[in-house]
């Protein structure tokens, strides 16, 4: 079962994207993009709009930033966030049929989206189509094999992380993403990793949001119960209280040209 990004889920994502961990990730992505004033940029899966707002600043009013997101709740948050930048807009559309003409953009970016998409070849063909020749693409996704939690009950943790994989279509996408992009006609220029790493379970850490999202999702999957999820969270809190909290997750980034 894939997550439903309704108003409640959109609110959680909005708060998660404000954490210092994701702010740092966003700055890393912006550095790789190297946007210039006047460029036309597409954000596929624009979510709560933090990235498109910052890209709007980078390209300025002589440029344009378009976002596409399937969640009306996400789009509403993003539109409020970008209301002061009329050159930033969010359009209705689908990753499998982007609502733009061929060669419309200088840059396309997508973060944490394609792991949810069934037909990846078609989706990546669409990215290639809407970029001008030589246009730049950046795709960021997670390989959930890279997730490390320190817990005292390793078997329960194994069952919970296996159940969490069910919320995605492609939980290990980065392993094959570069090849899929080449198949779509891209020239891959680099593959990089950005690590989300927490050694404390604080309210404003990415791991705290991730822990709550996982605990909410897994009951009813792989034979897990609410009691299992509660015990797992309590153990993570105990690890933090003992000064031995450890959370690590890799975000993989592929950059390419069309």
Domain range for 80 is 7-257
Q: Does residue 132 sit within a domain? A: yes
Report the alpha-carbon distance of residue 47 to residue 32 in Å, rounded: 20
Helices (H) and strands (E) in the chain, counts: 9, 8
Nearest by Cα to 185 from 243, 252, 103, 113? 103
Q: Does residue 249 sit within a domain? A: yes
pLDDT value, residue 1: 39
Report the alpha-carbon distance of residue 76 to residue 99 in Å, rounded: 19
- The CATH code of the domain that includes 75 is 3.40.50.150
- Give per-residue pLDDT as tens, 91-125: 988 999 999 999 999 999 999 999 999 999 999 99
Q: Does residue 2 sit within a domain? A: no
E strand or H helix at 7: helix 7-16
Report the alpha-carbon distance of residue 67 to residue 47 in Å, rounded: 8
Question: For residue 5, is pLDDT > 60?
Answer: no
Indicate the SS3 state at residue 250. Answer: strand
Q: Does residue 98 sit within a domain? A: yes
Q: Does residue 1 sit within a domain? A: no
CB 194 within 8 A of CB 251: yes
Q: Does residue 111 sit within a domain? A: yes
The pTM is what?
Answer: 0.93
Q: Does residue 183 sit within a domain? A: yes
- As for how many domains the chain has, the answer is 1
Report the alpha-carbon distance of residue 194 to residue 253 in Å, rounded: 8
Q: Does residue 162 sit within a domain? A: yes
pLDDT value, residue 2: 41
């Amino acid at each position: 079962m894939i997550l439903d990004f309704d108003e409640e889920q959109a609110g959680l994502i909005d708060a998660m994207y404000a954490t210092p961990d994701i702010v740092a990730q966003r700055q890393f992505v912006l550095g790789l993009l190297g946007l210039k004033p006047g460029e036309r940029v597409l954000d596929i899966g624009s979510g709560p709009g933090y990235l498109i707002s910052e890209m709007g600043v980078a390209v300025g009013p002589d440029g344009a930033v378009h976002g596409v997101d399937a969640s009306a709740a996400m789009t509403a948050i993003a539109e409020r966030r970008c209301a002061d930048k009329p050159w930033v807009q969010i359009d209705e559309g689908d990753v499998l049929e982007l609502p733009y003409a061929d060669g419309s953009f200088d840059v396309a970016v997508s973060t944490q989206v394609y792991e949810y998409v069934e037909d990846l070849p078609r989706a990546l063909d669409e990215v290639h189509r809407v970029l001008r020749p030589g246009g730049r693409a950046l795709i960021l996704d997670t390989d959930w094999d890279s997730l490390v939690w320190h817990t005292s009950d390793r078997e329960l943790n194994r069952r919970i992380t296996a159940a969490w994989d069910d919320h995605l279509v492609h939980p290990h996408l980065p392993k094959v993403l570069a090849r899929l992009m080449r198949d779509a006609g891209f020239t891959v220029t680099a593959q990089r990793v950005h690590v989300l790493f927490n050694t404390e379970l604080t309210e404003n850490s990415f791991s705290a949001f991730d822990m709550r999202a996982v605990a909410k999702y897994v009951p009813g999957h792989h034979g897990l119960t609410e009691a299992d999820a509660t015990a797992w969270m309590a153990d993570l809190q105990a690890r933090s209280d003992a000064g031995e909290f450890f959370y690590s997750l890799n975000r993989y980034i592929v950059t390419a040209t069309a």
